[in-house]
Amino acid sequence: MKKLIIINGTMGVGKTLTSKLLYKSLDKSVCLDGDWCWMMNPFKVTEENKKMVEDNIIYLLNNFLKNSSFKYVIFNWVIHKEYIFDIILDKLTEDFELYKISLTCSKDELRKRILKDNRKEEVITKSIERLKNYEDMSTIKIDTTDKLPKEVVKEIIDIVN
């Protein structure tokens, strides 16, 4: 059975790097970054755009799950509220084993990582504020504070296998 691995967490926690390394470590895998569906200029969060992004993500996930070439479908996105999982998962039509994994880290570590990416202070503040959203989610939590990305990937591989 296919395995859908959803990696979520606040901005700067390491979702994208972890997902890329995971995808390279798992044979017959594909990786989708939810942020790709938001790459628009100008960037505008409207109801119409939110619906379009959700529809596009659902479409892509369904097609990857249908495709016999893949065993693992890896999807990473901020997903800072539980209901966003429901919006997406309720519309997936294929059978799969689901692994919802939230990456977290300390506030100090998050600040360091975001500063390293040359992001603005408002991004740091927003990201740190969102850290608490992941505590109560129905996900597997992995604290990445003192771990190398390859260690996080190994932990995820151990979970899904």
pTM, entire model = 0.95
- The total number of structural domains in the chain stands at 1
pLDDT tens digits, one per residue of 39-64: 899 989 999 999 999 999 999 999 99
Q: Which CATH number covers residue 134?
A: 3.40.50.300
The DSSP H or E segment spanning 25 is helix 15-25
Structural domain including 71 reads 3-160
Percent of the chain with pLDDT over 90: 91
Name the least confident of 33-37, 106-110, 113-117, 145-149. 113-117
pLDDT tens digits, one per residue of 66-80: 999 999 999 999 999
